[in-house]
Amino acid sequence: MEEIRIIIASDSVGETAELVTKACTSQYKTEGNALDIVRLPYIENESNINEVVSLALEQKSIVVYTLVKPEMRLYLKEKLEENNIENVDIMGPLMSILSDELKEAPLNEPGNIHKLDEDYFKKIEAIEFAVKYDDGRDPRGLPKADIVLIGVSRTSKTPLSQYLAHKRYKVMNVPLVPEVAPPEGLFEIDPKKCIALKINQKNLNAIRRARLIQLGLSDDANYAKDDRIEEELQYFEDVVSKIGCPVLDVSDKAIEETANDIIKIITQQNR
């Protein structure tokens, strides 16, 4: 079988066009060595385009291209058609439709998808950070965190950490328990990035009782008793007073509302 050659031409790195091309070629039983895919990235001017056309003529290649700048896309299209070279414009047709539907001109900036990728990886990094440093597991996370949440048990520290991680914040949370001294690093970090989660006794009692029942335990365990909760809340006040950090009452708030309040506090603190 005669080898089929495909040139990927892009004004960025060409990953998008290559992925689409490979997705298409994977639908055929043709042996892999019968397909030759060459990627030509960073096509920025007419000289680069002329090189693509010359190579395509020389190798009798199909040209698959992703050029976002309309003048470059039009020039390449004209040159390919002049030379009867088989070609596929991956982005042009859809961008034309989107421009009509959105009533908006495209940015025409090559490589924007990689900016999105970078944002995605930042989110993944933040999520992994929240998992790694959940529940005060490793005090070495304190200086690395963007936000440190502190509070007694059942103040939504973990779900808040995960929610904020999806907003690209690296969050560590530290539980406050009278019998366990907080890590020393908690008193050494900038108090501006520490948020204390406060809750009233009545709400905390109800939440803990419900949690015990959910676990199949008796709801009159010490964990949910008023005197134990009073002790923990007093300990919370003592630690917060020592740190000098902002305090946020989460008694009657949803996770999303609390998270937005935390972001506002952190943003104002960083100004």
Binding-site members are 151-158
Q: How far is CA 248 from CA 31, 171, 187, 218, 238, in A?
A: 63, 16, 18, 30, 15
For 236, other C-beta atoms within 10 Å of its C-beta total 22
- Per the CB < 8 A criterion, the answer to whether 170 and 158 are in contact is no
Q: What is the distance between the terminal CA atoms of the chain, rounded to a whole angstrom? A: 66
- Take residue 73 and report the two structure tokens written for it: 């896309």
Which residues contribute to the annotated binding site for ADP? 151-158
Q: How many whole angstroms separate alpha carbon 63 and alpha carbon 77? A: 10
* 194 within 8 A of 148, measured Cβ to Cβ: yes
